[in-house]
Amino acid sequence: MTVSRWGLLGVAVLALLSVLFAALWWLSPTHDASTVVAAFWHGSLGTTSAFFSGTLVRAIPLALLGAGLCVAFRAGVFNIGGEGQLMIGAVAATFVGLGHSLGPLHVVIALVAGAAGGAAWAAIAAELRRRFGVLEVISTIMLNFIAASLVAYLVRGPLQEPTGVYPQTELVEVPARLVRLLPDFRLHAGIFIAVIVCAAAWWFLRETAAGFRVRAVGASPSAAAIIGRVDVPRVTFGALVASGALAGLAGGVEVTGVTYALYENISPGYGFSAIAVAILAGLRPAFVPLSALLFATLETGALGMQRDAGIPSVVASALEAVVILATLVIGAGFLRRTALPASTAP
C-alpha cells in the first residue's frame, strides 16, 4: 500500500471507531460506553484465559479457511461456501472420530477425513461450474444451507448421542482428539497446523508453477490460456476444491480440538468471517495469521460485550462486513474475478 493509502486507512479507521462508539453506546441497555470497552477487552485479550482459550483458539479455523480463500480468490473463484464445507468436514471427522480406535494416528485420519469431506463438498460446486457454468457464488451458498440441514438431521437422527436428549453426537474417542498445549487452557495442536498451512499456501502461490498458474488465471484467464497454455477450467476447479479441503480441515480441527462432538451451529459464521480475513490480508497467506487473529479478537470481544454489556455478539459480523468494504475501497486492485467462459467446452 502506498503512503497516501495508509493515511486514508487511518482516517477511515478513526471514523469507523467513532461511529462504533456511538452505535455501541446506543445499543447497550445501560448506555455505558466504558463498560462496553472493558467488556470487549476482557473478552478478547484482557485475560490469559480469554486469549489462550478464546481468541487464539478461534483464530485457528479462521486462519485455515482464510488461507484456502486466498488461493480460491486469487484464482478468481469466489467460494462463499466455507460454512458448508467446514460443516461437512466436521461431519466426516466426527464420523471417523466416533469409530473404533484407529491407533495413534486416529486424529490424523480424522483430520484427513475432514479435509476430504470439505473438498468433496466444494467439488460439487466446482463440477456445477465446470460443466454447467453455474455461478459458484450461488451454488456454494445453496450448499451451505443444505449442509446445515444435513447436520441438523444427523445430530437429531442417526448420529445423535445415546440418551437422545441433546441434538449433538457423542464425544469422539480420546485418540481422535488434538492434544492440548497448555494445562489450563483450550489452546490445542491445531495452531501448528494453521501456521504450517499458511506458510505452505504462501510458498505455493509464490514459488511454484502451479501457484503461478492460479495467480495468472485470476488475473487474466484468457492470457493464461492463450499465452500460458494453461488449462484454465482445471486450475479453477482445483482452486475451489483446495479451498474446500482447507475449510473441511478447519471443521475437522474444530471437532478434534475444541468441541469433540458435532452439533448444529458448530461454526458461528467462520466461513463468512474468513472472507473478511482473506480480504484484509490482501489475499496474501503470509498475512492471514495476523488477520485471523484480528478478527478472532473482534469476535471474542463481541462475545465479551454480549456477556458483560448486553450487546448482541452478532454485531461482529456487521463490523466484518464494514472492514471488507473499507478494505475494498482503499486497497482496490487486490482482487479480480474470473469471468465464466462463454462455453462450457473444455
Partner 1 sequence: MTTAGPGDSPALELRGIHKRFGEVAALTDAGLVVRHGTVHAVLGENGAGKSTLMRVAIGLAAPDAGIVSVFGSATPRLSVRTASRAGLGMVHQHLSLAESLTAPENVALGGAGLYRSRQVVERLRAVADSSGLDVPLNIPVRELTLAQRQRLEILKALAADARVLILDEPTAVLAPTEVRDLLSWVRSFAARGGSVVLVTHKLREALSVADDITVLRRGRVTFAGPATGATESSLAGAIFPGAVATSAVAIGVPGEEVVVAERVSVADDRGTVRVRDASFVVRRHEIVGIAAVDGAGHHELMAALGALKRPASGELRLPQRVVVVPADRHRDGLILSMSLAENVALRGVGAARGRIAWGRVRERARALIQRFGIVAASEQAGAGTLSGGNQQRLVVAAALEQPVDLIVADNPTRGLDLRATAFVHEQLREAAASGAAVVVHSSDVDEVLELATRVLVVFHGTVSEAGLDRDRIGTLMLGAA
Partner 2 sequence: MSDFAPLLEAAVRTAAPLLLAAIGESVSERAGVLNIGLEGCIIAGAYAAFVAGGTIPLAGYGAAVAAGAAVGLLLVAFSVWRRLDQIIVGTALTMLALGITGTLFRARGDIAAAIGSTEPAVVIPLLSSLPLVGRALFAQPVTTYLAFALAPAVWWWLHRTHAGLALRAVGDSHEAATAAGIRVGLVQAGAVVFGSALGGLAGGTLVLAQAGSFAESMSAGRGFIAIAIVALGRWRMTGVALASLAFGTAMALQYVVQALGWRVRYELVLMIPYLATLAALGVFGRGTAPAMLGRRRETS
What does the chain come to in residues? 346
284 in contact with partner 1 (CB under 8 A): no
Binder among 117, 242, 319, 338 for partner 2 (CB under 8 A): 319
The residue (of 156 and 336) whose beta carbon lies closer to partner 1 is 336
- Residue 219 and residue 227 in contact, taking contact as beta carbons nearer than 8 Å: no
Task: Pull the grid cell for residue 109.
Answer: 485420519
Q: How far is the CB of 343 from partner 2 (least distance, A)?
A: 11
Binding flags for partner 1, 220-259, as an x/- string (CB under 8 A): x-xxxxxxxxxx----------------------------
- Residue 249 and residue 88 in contact, taking contact as beta carbons nearer than 8 Å: no
Q: How far is the CB of 211 from partner 1 (least distance, A)?
A: 8
Residue type, 31: H
Q: Which does 226 bind (CB under 5 to 8 A by kind): partner 2, partner 1, none?
A: partner 1
CA distance 97 to 119: 19
CA distance 116 to 80: 18
85 in contact with partner 2 (CB under 8 A): no
- Residue 32 and residue 38 in contact, taking contact as beta carbons nearer than 8 Å: no
110 in contact with partner 2 (CB under 8 A): no
Q: Which does 333 bind (CB under 5 to 8 A by kind): partner 1, partner 2, none?
A: partner 1
299 in contact with partner 2 (CB under 8 A): no
The residue (of 120 and 181) whose beta carbon lies closer to partner 2 is 120
207 in contact with partner 1 (CB under 8 A): yes
- Residue 88 and residue 117 in contact, taking contact as beta carbons nearer than 8 Å: yes
- Residue 269 and residue 276 in contact, taking contact as beta carbons nearer than 8 Å: no
Neighbours of 293 (CB within 10 A): 19
Binding flags for partner 2, 138-177, as an x/- string (CB under 8 A): xx-xxx-xx--xx-xx--xx--------------------
Binder among 260, 270, 272, 287 for partner 2 (CB under 8 A): 272
Single out the residue of 141, 109, 148 nearest to residue 124, CA to CA.
141
CA distance 281 to 186: 26
Q: Which does 284 bind (CB under 5 to 8 A by kind): partner 2, partner 1, none?
A: none
- Residue 183 and residue 41 in contact, taking contact as beta carbons nearer than 8 Å: no
336 in contact with partner 2 (CB under 8 A): yes
200 in contact with partner 1 (CB under 8 A): no
Single out the residue of 254, 293, 266 nearest to residue 277, CA to CA.
293
Residue 209, exposed/middle/buried by CB under 10 A (0-12, 13-18, 19+)? Answer: exposed
286 in contact with partner 1 (CB under 8 A): no
Single out the residue of 239, 305, 308 nearest to residue 278, CA to CA.
239
Q: How far is the CB of 206 from partner 1 (least distance, A)?
A: 9
Q: Which does 328 bind (CB under 5 to 8 A by kind): partner 1, partner 2, none?
A: partner 2
Binder among 186, 284, 336, 337 for partner 1 (CB under 8 A): 336
314 in contact with partner 2 (CB under 8 A): yes
208 in contact with partner 1 (CB under 8 A): yes
Cβ contacts of 124 within 8 Å, gap of 6 or more = 139, 143
Q: How far is the CB of 342 from partner 2 (least distance, A)?
A: 9
The b/e string for 214-250 (b: 16+ C-beta within 10 A; e otherwise) is: bbbbbeebeebbeebebebbebbbbbbbbbbbbbbbb
Binder among 102, 141, 148, 219 for partner 1 (CB under 8 A): 219
9 in contact with partner 2 (CB under 8 A): no
Q: Which residues bind partner 2 (CB under 8 A)?
A: 27-29, 78, 80, 124, 128, 131-135, 137-139, 141-143, 145-146, 149-150, 152-153, 156-157, 272, 275, 279, 310-312, 314-322, 324-325, 328-329, 332, 335-337, 339-340
